[in-house]
Chains A and B, each alone.
Chain A
C-alpha cells in the first residue's frame, strides 16, 4: 500500500477532481457531526431544565414550611 500522490498539492488537487471529492467529504463530516452532537445538546438542555425545576420546587417547599 503506498501514498497515491506525488505531493500534498497533488493530493489536494487530485488532477482537478479535488474540489468535488473534498466537498463531499466536508459535507459528510458536517452531517455526521450534527448527528453526533444534536442528541447530546438536546439531552443537556432537558436535564438542565429538570434540574432547575427541581431547585425551584425545593425552594418553594422550604418557604412554605418556614
Chain B
C-alpha cells in the first residue's frame, strides 16, 4: 500500500511513537555538525581578502537565512495540507514551525545588522533584501499571534494557514531582491547553476554549517510538534498513561 504512510500520518499518536527513536540521532548529528562547522569557520578558514575577519559571520548568517526561508515553506505547505485534507498533524507542524522560523529570521536579521556595521558602516538600511526579510519576520509573528487569538483551535488553524499561504508572495521577492534592486546587500554567494563566488577553503565549513542547521531545524521542529501532540491529546488515554509512567 503506497499511500498507507499518508493515512497513518492522520494519527498523531502513531507519529509520536514512530519518531521517538529519531530524536537522539538528530540531536547528535546536528550538534556535532554545528560545533565542527563553527570551529572550522571561526579558527581555520582563511580570512577574507576584502572583509578580513568580519566575514566569519557568514557561517551563521547564511545558514540561518536559508532556514528562515525553508521554515516558511514548511509552515505554508503544512498549513495548506491542514486546510485541504483536515489533517491534524499538519496543523500541529504549522503551529510548531512559526516560532522556530521567527527565531531563525531574527538571528538572520541580527547577525546581518552586526555584520553590516564593520562592512558597510551601518547597522541597518532599508535595502530590499533586508526589508523583505523583516516582512518575513512579521509574517511569522502574525501566524503566532493568530494561533493565540482564537479560542477555537480549528478557526485558529484556518486563519493562520491562510495568512501563511498569502505570505508566500514574499518568498520570491526575498530571493530576487538582490538582483532586482541591487543596492547594498551582496548577491548570493552559493550558486547551484554556476560556479560559486567563494573559495573552497571557505565554502566547505559553510556547507557543514548549512547541513547542521537543516538537521537542527528538523530536530527542533520534531520536538515542538511532539510536545504539541501531547498537549492537544492530553485528554486521551495514551497520553494520560504516558504521563503516569514518566
Interface assignment of B188: CB less than 8 Å from any CB of chain A:
no
Contact A4 B46 (CB under 8 A): yes
Interface assignment of A31: CB less than 8 Å from any CB of chain B:
yes
Q: Tell me which residues across on chain A come within 8 A of B117, comparing CB atoms.
A: 20
Q: A interface, how many residues as a size bin?
A: 20 to 34
Interface assignment of B83: CB less than 8 Å from any CB of chain A:
no
Q: Tell me which residues across on chain B come within 8 A of A54, comparing CB atoms.
A: 240, 243-244
Interface assignment of A15: CB less than 8 Å from any CB of chain B:
yes
Contact A27 B111 (CB under 8 A): yes
Q: B interface, how many residues as a size bin?
A: 35 or more
Contact B57 A24 (CB under 8 A): yes
**CB-nearest residue of chain A to B47:** A4
Instruction: Type the 1/0 row for B103-147, where 1 means its CB is closer than 8 Å to any CB of A.
Output: 110110011001101100000000000000000000000000000
Interface assignment of A56: CB less than 8 Å from any CB of chain B:
no
Q: Closest CB-CB distance, A57 to chain B, in whole Å?
A: 10
List residues 205-246 of chain B with CB under 8 A from any CB of chain A. Answer: 216, 219-220, 223-224, 226-227, 230-231, 234, 239-240, 242-244, 246
Interface assignment of B53: CB less than 8 Å from any CB of chain A:
yes
Looking at B37-45, B153-161, B162-170, the stretch in contact with chain A turns out to be: B37-45
Contact A34 B243 (CB under 8 A): no
Contact of B45 among A4, A14, A39, A42 (CB under 8 A): A4
Contact B110 A24 (CB under 8 A): yes
Instruction: Type the 1/0 row for A4-37, where 1 means its CB is closer than 8 Å to any CB of B.
Output: 1100000100111110110111011001101110
- List residues of chain A with CB under 8 Å of any chain B CB: 1-5, 11, 14-18, 20-21, 23-25, 27-28, 31-32, 34-36, 38-40, 42-43, 46-48, 50-51, 54
Q: A34-B103, A51-B244 are in contact. List 15 more A-B contacts (CB 8 A).
A: A1-B44, A4-B47, A15-B53, A17-B118, A18-B53, A20-B115, A21-B57, A24-B60, A24-B111, A31-B106, A32-B34, A35-B216, A36-B219, A42-B231, A50-B239
Pick 9 A–B contacts, CB within 8 A, sort by A.
A2-B44, A17-B52, A17-B56, A20-B117, A21-B54, A24-B110, A28-B111, A39-B227, A50-B234
